[in-house]
Structure 1
Amino acid sequence: MDAANDCKNDCQRELTGMLSCFFGLVTGSFAQDSSDSDLELSTVRHQPEGLEQLQAQTKFTKKELQSLYRGFKNECPSGLVDEETFKTIYSQFFPQGDATTYAHFLFNAFDLDRNGSIRFEDFVIGLSVLLRGTVTEKLNWAFNLYDINKDGYITKEEMLLIMKSIYDMMGRYTYPSVRDEAPSEHVEKFFQKMDRNRDGVVTIEEFIETCQKDENIMNSMQLFENVI
C-alpha cells in the first residue's frame, strides 16, 4: 500500500473513530423514545432550562428533546454528568479497547465552563451542533476538541494525544491492522498540511480551511445528520 492510501485510511479511521463512536454513545444510551408532554424535572437535583429555550438554542424538535432528556436522566439521575460517569458510560461501547483517554478529551469539549460536570443543556447544545450544525459549526466544535489547553491553537503534541487516544480506543481492532507508529505518521502528515504558515501551530482558520478542502472530512460531516 502506498503512502497516499495509508494517509487516506488513517484519515478515515480517525474520523470514523471520533464521530461514530461518539454517536454510538448517543443512540445507544441517551436517545430513547418518550411520549411525555414535557421534560420531567421533579426528580433531578439540577433542573435544565425550559423546553422552549432549549428548542431556541438547538435544532431539535420538542419530541427529540424529550427523548434525549429521558435517556440522559436515566443514565444520570442527578441531572449532571461527572467525568468518571461519562467515562464509564462511554467505555461500555468499547469493551475490547481503552476509551478512557478519548472520553476525557471528549468530556472536556462538552464541559465548556470547566466546572467538572456536564449539564443536559451542555450535552444537547453540543449534540445539536454535531448532528444538525453547519459544516463550519461542526469544524469549530472539532477544533475545540483538539485544542486541549483551550488557548486557541492546536499543536502537533495536542493532535498526537487525541490521535493516540482514538487508536487506543479502536485502532487495534480495525482492518487493516494499525502499526504502532501509525498515529505519529498520520499526525505528521496532517499537521504539515494544516500548518500553512509553518509557525508550529494550527489556528482555527487554518483548521477550517484545510478540512473544507478534504473530501473525506466533508463526507464524514454528513454521516450522522439523521441519527435521531
Structure 2
Amino acid sequence: MAETAPQYQPTELDPFYALFANIDPVQTHTYNLSEFKAAFQAQLGFSDSTLEGMFKACDVDRDGRIDLHEFLSLICIVVTAPADQKLVFLFHLFDKDRSGSLENKEVIHIVDSLANVAKAGGKTDAVNLSADDLIKADTNNDGVISLDEFVNFGLSNAIVMNLLKGY
C-alpha cells in the first residue's frame, strides 16, 4: 500500500515569503536599499531610517543586497522570537551610532516608530507609550539606556509587551 505524502502546513512565514517574492518585479530575489524601501515602506509603515536599520540588520553578508534567506531570518526574529530576543533586536536596530546605549534622540525615534507600526497594525495602545515612559528605563540615571535596561524595561512594560505580540 502506497503511503501518502504529508500535507503541507502553512506557517506564519508564508505571507512574508509571498510579500518578498511578489513585489520583486524582475525576480532577482534580492533588494538593494532603495528597492527595499520602495517595496516595503507602504507595506510595513516604517520610516526611512527604520527601514535603513532593518536593511542593515538583514544584510548579514554586507553585500549591499538582501536576499530571501536574509529577509526571512529577520522575519523569524521579529515574528517568532521570544520577547527578550525581539527587544535585543530592536535595541540594536535603533542604536544608530552603535554606541551600545540609547540616547534621547534614539529613544524618541523608537517611540515614533513603534507608534507608526502599531497604528498600521491596528494596535492603538502604542500612542500611550511616550518618550518619557521609555526614558524611565534608565534605571541607573546615567542619561543613556543600556541594552539590559532596555530589555528589562520592555519585559516589565505592558504596552511594550503588547506591541511585541504578533510582530
2:38 paired residue number: 88
Higher relative contact order (CA 8 A, sep 6+): 1
Q: 1:166 to 1:68 in 2, by over 3 A?
A: closer
The two structures have a TM-score, normalised by structure 2, of: 0.70
In 2, Cα distance between equivalents of 1:218 and 1:168: 16
What is the SS of the residue equivalent to 2:31? strand
In 2, Cα distance between equivalents of 1:211 and 1:66: 28
Q: Is the 8 A contact 1:87 1:99 kept in 2?
A: no
1:190 paired residue number: 134
Q: Is the 8 A contact 2:118 2:163 kept in 1?
A: no
In 1, Cα distance between equivalents of 2:165 and 2:102: 24
Q: Is the 8 A contact 1:90 1:99 kept in 2?
A: no
Percent identical: 23
The two structures have a TM-score, normalised by structure 1, of: 0.53
Of 31, 51, 69 in structure 2, the residue corresponding to residue 121 of structure 1 is 69
2:93 paired residue number: 145
- After the TM superposition, which of the residue ranges 127-136 and 151-160 deviates more from structure 2? 151-160
In 2, Cα distance between equivalents of 1:66 and 1:136: 24
What is the SS of the residue equivalent to 2:66? strand
Q: 1:205 to 1:120 in 2, by over 3 A?
A: same
Of 63, 78, 81 in structure 2, the residue corresponding to residue 130 of structure 1 is 78
Of 154, 157, 161 in structure 2, the residue corresponding to residue 211 of structure 1 is 154
Aligned: 1:158 with 2:102: no
Of 98, 103, 109 in structure 1, the residue corresponding to residue 57 of structure 2 is 109
Q: 1:115 to 1:148 in 2, by over 3 A?
A: farther
Q: Which amino acid in structure 2 is aligned with residue 190 of structure 1?
A: L
CA displacement, residues 33-92 of structure 1 (integer Å, 9 cap, x when unaligned): xxxxxxxxxxxxxxxxxxxxxxxxxxxx98546765454233232222111111111233
Q: 1:170 to 1:126 in 2, by over 3 A?
A: closer
What is the SS of the residue equivalent to 2:35? helix
In 2, Cα distance between equivalents of 1:68 and 1:195: 35
In 1, Cα distance between equivalents of 2:97 and 2:48: 18
In 1, Cα distance between equivalents of 2:52 and 2:67: 16
State the Cα distance separating 1:124 from its structure 2 match: 0.8
Map 1:45-56 onto structure 2 (within 5 A): none
What is the SS of the residue equivalent to 1:194? coil
What is the SS of the residue equivalent to 1:136? helix
1:78 paired residue number: 28
In 2, Cα distance between equivalents of 1:114 and 1:150: 16
Aligned: 1:221 with 2:164: yes
Which ranges of structure 2 fall in alignment gaps of 5 or more residues?
A: 1-7
State the Cα distance separating 1:190 from its structure 2 match: 1.6
1:202 paired residue number: 145
What is the SS of the residue equivalent to 2:96? coil
In 2, Cα distance between equivalents of 1:93 and 1:197: 38
